Structure 1
Amino acid sequence: MKDRMDPARAQALCATLDLPAPGPDLPPFFHHIYFWEAHPPEALGRDGHPAVGGTIPDMGLPRRMWAGGRLEFPAPLHSAIPAEKTTTIENTAHKHGRSGPLGFVTLRHEIRQNGTLCVREFQDLVYRTDPAPDTPRPVPPPAPDGAEETRPVQFSPTLLFRYSALTFNGHRIHYDRDYARDVEGYDGLVVHGPLLAQMLMLMAAEAGPLTRFSFRASAPLMDHEPATLCRAGPRYWVCGPNGRLCMSAEAG
């Protein structure tokens, strides 16, 4: 898949995140606003994502979650220079957890400009069943202590909508409150896991160019909930209300 890497898209994401206009080198993780896969409505699943069965195999489970990822940045990725992205299936597995059957898919994405590898990303997806009305919610893990730096953050419905638009992410849990509550069982609009990872990566990049970054989601964060970005050395995390850990990460 090819993209001409329009600088206007990066400028729009910077405006959305209240950041200064970017230079020619794109900030880490900004590649997610490129390489759109535009499918017609009949090719979408009930959740707004492209229906499984193409690149992503059908795991027989309706709910999708981006559980985490690992990234390498061997060279800068530039705006306004055409790039090519290749995606392959790294691994698939079925397991049975406390909440029922689970499907795991790991995708490997590689992005090149002028033949140079700029980004290698391993994307971990989890598929699960719909929650039964009487199913108890899992207890989220507590966030760690000992943060050396903290930053309060808030995610409005407008921010979630604009991030969905820029990443061409049709998942309805991020903008359709009724669907998020009544079908997938959430308390509100869900903040994108990649958006949390993006905020942590931008925080980590302030110390210098990133060569590696990994992250793991552990509990959802709703649009009406305040959160805190935290750092201790190379470790980063998102702390939600009541001290719950929403995401953990490590920079390199």
Structure 2
Amino acid sequence: MLQLNNVSFKPQGKLLLDQVSVSVKAGEVYGLLGPNGAGKTTLLKAISGDIKASGSIKFYGKELTQWNRRELAKHLAVLPQASQLTFPFSAREVVALGLTPLSLSKAQANKLIDEKMSATDCCSFADRSYPSLSGGERQRVQLARVLLQLSQASHSPLLLLDEPTSAQDLGQQHHLLTLTQQLAKKEGFGVIAILHDLNQVLRYCDTCCLLDQGQVSAVNSPDKVLSDERIKEHWQYQPQRVILNNGQTALI
């Protein structure tokens, strides 16, 4: 689905990405992790085309720059850390902004809006003013918007999530990450998510990439990447491991 080869980014002489080469498959949740300043958000911006990095970024075998912008918008969407919107749109109207690349009748559009708002648990505040919502509610509205944007993809779409749980309470964090798993497993989405909670990486990601100082330090399954030695090296913290009743490992 996505192939990066030797991707680098050096604005004003500061090297933020250094020869990054990774690949992401449809149907997997791919975690991006690393300490603060490792280059995670910069890499996501390079994949989305928000910044112009050197090297090759191919999406379905075609350079990202060669994609028709409207077609790309149907197949690749980004949920940023925060979205600034001060106009008094309702939450539902913000979700409807995701209709822009689509060709739908009004009835089809309304049905899809309801479907995506239900999936992201936004229906209870659909008519409220977006600026009046909490940070977590806004985040879920924006997720509904990008899922709507991807609803007419002709290939498995790619969803980029920049700290998607940062504003969510505990229950909503797991609801959102379970949803991303379902999108990957049942609908074939490729999902790249920046996550800081290593237990969430262990529980929800199929593959993860550890970045540090703009370089790839390790790529593998989460249990192989997140060894005690690597955690201590990159986060300066010595974890303890607990085996839960379901056999999963938890870090404390």
On whether the aligned pair clears a TM of 0.5, the verdict is no
Greater relative contact order, per chain length (Cα 8 Å cut-off, separation 6+): 2
Q: TM-score, normalised by structure 2?
A: 0.26
Higher helix share: 2
Q: TM-score, normalised by structure 1?
A: 0.26
Higher strand share: 1
